Each structure stands twice: as C-alpha cells, then as structure tokens.
C-alpha cells in the first residue's frame, strides 16, 4: 500500500480482486524482465521460456478445475470474451437456449444479438427473488431443439449459488451442452468440470483467481467442436489458409498476455495452496457478518440468500430511500470504502430481486478482507441510514 491506497477499504472484489498477492505481482515482473519474448512464435530460448509460462498457467488452471488435458483450456483476456466464444461458437440458426434470470449482460447481450441476427430462441428461467434456482425449472424449459443451457454459477448481484451439478446431470443425460459462467465462482467455489457435467466453463483470471486484469479463459470439453470466433496467426501451421484444428491454437489467435498469465499462474497456485474450501469458508463468514450487521440497521434491505444459506461474498443492499449511487459516493468520499452501485451489468437479476427501478449498492469481500473492513461498512451504513 502507498499514500494513494492506504485509506481504501476495498469491498469490490466481485469487479476485480485487489490487492493481488505479492507473489502474483512478482511473477508479472519476473516475466516482463526475464521472459519478454512472444510465446509460441519462435524457437529461440526466450520464446521457449515464455511458452513455458503460458503452459504453467494452463496446467495450474487444469488442476484447479480438474480438467484432464490443459490444452482444452483456451486462454482469453476476460470472462466476456470466453462467454462470447462459447455462445457464438456453439449456436446455429434456430437453436434453442435456456439461460437463467440472473445472467450477466456478458451472456444476455450475445444471446439477444443472436436472437436478432440468426433467430436463436432463448428461454430465461426464473429464480426466486433471492436468486435461488430450482433445477426442475430448467428441465421444464428444455425443448427438443435445445442446444445449450447457460448457468451463472453465482449471481453477481445476489451472491446466490446455482445448482450447476444437478443441471449438469440433466443436460448430460439429454446430450445438451452446459455452459457455466464462473465469473463469481472460480477460485471461490469448488469446480470439477467432469463431476459437474460442465461442457464449457468461462472464467476470469482477475477476480477470485487473483491474477492480473486482462486474463481469463474458456474450458472446452474435448468432444465439443466449437467454431472459433476469432481467426488469425497462431504461430503454428502458418502455411495453412484456415484456422488449425489443434488445441489450444484453434482458439488463441494473436499474442497472448504472457506477463498476465505468469501472474495468473501464481494466483492459482496461491489458491491451490490455501484451498478453495478455506477461501469459501472465510468469504461466507464475512458475508454473514456483513448481512447481519446491515440487516440490524432497520431501514436497510439486504438482497440475496437468507442468513445461514450458502452464498459467495457478495452482499447487495439498499439504504432506505437513498439512491444507491449516492450511497456509494458517500461511502467512498467520506469513509474511504470502495463498493459498486447501479445495475452491475445485470438488469435481469435486478428484475428478479425487485430492484429494477433503483439498482443497489454491492459490497463484495475477498481474500484480503478483514472483519474490521466489514464492521467499517456496517458502521458507515448506520450513519448514512439516519438521513434516509
């Protein structure tokens, strides 16, 4: 921390995690200083060692998500690109898709685009207002031409955890592909792609995995033949006119983010060492403390699962009649607390929660959050609530 950041209480981990562990920062620096060549684009020794960094990131991710072959992971620059690759690479004119009522715009907008341009049909399955999904609702929404089911593993507004494994059993039985948006769950909830029946897993490197911004990825099941949406140089089979078939090159045209991936590998190793279970338990306990403290204020409405239920570290709330943006502004300016207000790129989930007209304030805890951070937010919310 320095003079610029020492007074920030950072409760915006759902947007991106901060601060990154020191080993992540050091790995980025090391890669820039010692391995600055372009990986997979030459046979000189620095290019080879840069290629090793990229492979180490893939290997660490494969270990975390129990992916048998690291080459089934396509590295991307964020979750949004991974989701676009999965959705646009999989759907054909007339296909039917089932998604949930808590999807992020990174899912909804590609779907709405395909609806308009190639006549894809979309059913959004309702959750309850706390973001809890009954998997039988997904089953009831399936049609003979359903090609894909998309599930947000944890709502970025409500923190609810959706029943991915149950849905995976259902989709596997019917030969329907399952795409999971793990933007809020990667590194926080256990993910085992085979055991959970996941065909496509889109994840960020910069949130729960503690890597730098500009990192993320998409796991593509070996039997899923996804059409690439980006074509170009891969450093392999350069004489071929068309995109190569070989993975991961097929899905990774252009120079990758080697320093970012060095940091991501360090972030994933940090998580593997800490264990996902320990991270989840910590975030769950902090979220409970925050929910209880905010709920006790009286004129504060807390969204998401009820106390005691499973959830990730996202706690969204509204103070009386206060505009959420104003609340976030006051928290930043007067209390040094960083949260996010508005619609969080998920108007669908706000519709579900009954906050479509107002939006909400979203606090999200992470690996660096302490009980004192949470208590500071509760105390500030209490003071602000007196005015609304």
Task: Give catalytic residues, as residue numbers.
Answer: 345
Q: Closest distance between ligand PMP and the C-beta of residue 24, in Å?
A: 16
Q: Does 380 bind ligand PMP (CB under 6 A)?
A: no
Q: Closest distance between ligand PMP and the C-beta of residue 273, in Å?
A: 24
Query: Which range touches ligand PMP (CB under 6 A), out of 75-83, 282-290, 293-301, 352-360?
Result: 75-83
Q: Does 76 bind ligand PMP (CB under 6 A)?
A: no
Q: Does 204 bind ligand PMP (CB under 6 A)?
A: yes
> Which residues inside 77-116 make contact with ligand PMP, applying CB under 6 A?
78-80, 104, 106
Q: Judged by CB under 6 A, which of 100, 127, 156, 352 binds ligand PMP? A: 156
Q: Closest distance between ligand PMP and the C-beta of residue 302, in Å?
A: 19
> Which residues inside 183-202 make contact with ligand PMP, applying CB under 6 A?
183-184
Q: Closest distance between ligand PMP and the C-beta of residue 216, in Å?
A: 5
Q: Judged by CB under 6 A, which of 146, 152, 312, 369 binds ligand PMP? A: 152
Asked if 151 and 162 touch (Cβ cutoff 8 Å), the reply is: yes
Q: Closest distance between ligand PMP and the C-beta of residue 356, in Å?
A: 17
Q: Does 181 bind ligand PMP (CB under 6 A)?
A: yes
Query: Which range touches ligand PMP (CB under 6 A), out of 92-100, 121-129, 181-189, 258-266?
Result: 181-189
Query: Which range touches ligand PMP (CB under 6 A), out of 5-13, 76-84, 301-309, 361-369?
Result: 76-84
Q: Label each residue of the chain as H, E or C.
A: CCCCCCCCEECECCCCCCCCCHHHHHHHHHHHHHCCCCCCCCCCHHHHHHHHHHHHHHHHHHHHHCCCCHHHEEEECCHHHHHHHHHHHHCCCCCEEEEECCCCHHHHHHHHHHHHHHCCEEEEECCCCCCCCCHHHHHHHCCCCEEEEEEECECCCCCCECCHHHHHHHHHHHCCEEEEECCCCECCECCCCCCCCCCEEEEECCCCCCCCCCCEEEEECCCCCCCCCCCCCCCCCCCCCCCCCCCCHHHCCCCCCHHHHHHHHHHHHHHHHHCHHHHHHHHHHHHHHHHHHHHCCCCEEECCCCCCCCCCCEEEEEECCCCHHHHHHHHHHHHCEECEEECCCCHHHHHHHCCCCCCEEEEECCCCCCHHHHHHHHHHHHHHHCCC
Q: Does 249 bind ligand PMP (CB under 6 A)?
A: no
CA torsion 341-347-351-357 (nearest 10°) is 50
Q: Does 352 bind ligand PMP (CB under 6 A)?
A: no
Instruction: For ligand PMP, give the closer residue by CB, 35 or 252.
Output: 252
Q: Closest distance between ligand PMP and the C-beta of residue 102, in Å?
A: 8
Asked whether the bond before 248 is cis by omega within 30 degrees of 0, the reply is: yes
Q: Does 216 bind ligand PMP (CB under 6 A)?
A: yes
Instruction: For ligand PMP, give the closer residue by CB, 153 or 378.
Output: 153
Q: Closest distance between ligand PMP and the C-beta of residue 84, in Å?
A: 9
Residues forming the site for ligand PMP (CB under 6 A): 78-80, 104, 106, 152, 156, 181, 183-184, 204, 216, 345
């Amino acid at each position: 921390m320095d003079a610029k950041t020492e007074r920030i209480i950072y409760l915006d981990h759902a947007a991106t995690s901060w601060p990154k562990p020191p080993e992540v920062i050091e790995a980025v620096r090391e890669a820039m200083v010692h391995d600055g060549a372009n990986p997979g684009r030459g046979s000189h020794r620095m290019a080879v060692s840069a290629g090793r960094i990229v492979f180490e990131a893939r290997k660490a991710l494969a270990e975390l998500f129990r992916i048998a072959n690291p080459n089934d992971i396509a590295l991307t620059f964020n979750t949004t690109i991974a989701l676009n690759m999965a959705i646009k690479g999989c759907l054909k004119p007339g296909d039917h898709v089932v998604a949930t009522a808590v999807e992020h715009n990174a899912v909804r907008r590609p779907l709405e685009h395909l609806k308009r341009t190639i006549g894809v049909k979309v059913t959004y399955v309702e959750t309850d207002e706390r973001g809890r999904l009954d998997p039988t609702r997904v089953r009831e929404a399936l049609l003979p031409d359903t090609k894909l089911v998309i599930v947000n593993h944890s709502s970025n507004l409500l923190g609810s955890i959706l029943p991915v494994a149950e849905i995976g059993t259902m989709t596997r039985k019917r030969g329907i592909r399952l795409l999971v948006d793990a933007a809020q769950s990667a590194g926080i909830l256990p993910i085992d792609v085979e055991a959970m029946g996941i065909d496509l897993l889109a994840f960020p490197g910069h949130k729960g995995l503690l890597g730098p911004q500009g990192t993320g990825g998409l796991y593509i099941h070996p039997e899923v033949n996804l059409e690439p949406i980006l074509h170009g140089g891969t450093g392999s089979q350069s004489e071929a006119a068309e995109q190569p078939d070989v993975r991961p090159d097929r899905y990774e045209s252009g120079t990758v983010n080697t320093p970012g991936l060095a940091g991501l590998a360090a972030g994933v190793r940090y998580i593997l060492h800490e264990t996902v279970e320990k991270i989840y338990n910590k975030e769950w306990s902090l979220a409970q403390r925050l929910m209880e403290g905010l709920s006790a204020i009286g004129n504060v409405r807390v969204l998401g699962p009820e106390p005691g239920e499973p959830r990730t570290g996202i706690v969204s709330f509204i103070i009386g009649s206060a505009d959420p943006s104003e609340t976030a502004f006051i928290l930043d300016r007067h209390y040094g607390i960083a949260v996010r207000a508005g619609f969080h790129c998920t108007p669908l989930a706000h519709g579900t929660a009954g906050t479509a007209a107002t939006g909400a304030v979203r606090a999200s805890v992470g690996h660096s959050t302490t009980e004192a951070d949470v208590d500071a937010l509760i105390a500030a919310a209490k003071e602000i609530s007196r005015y609304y």
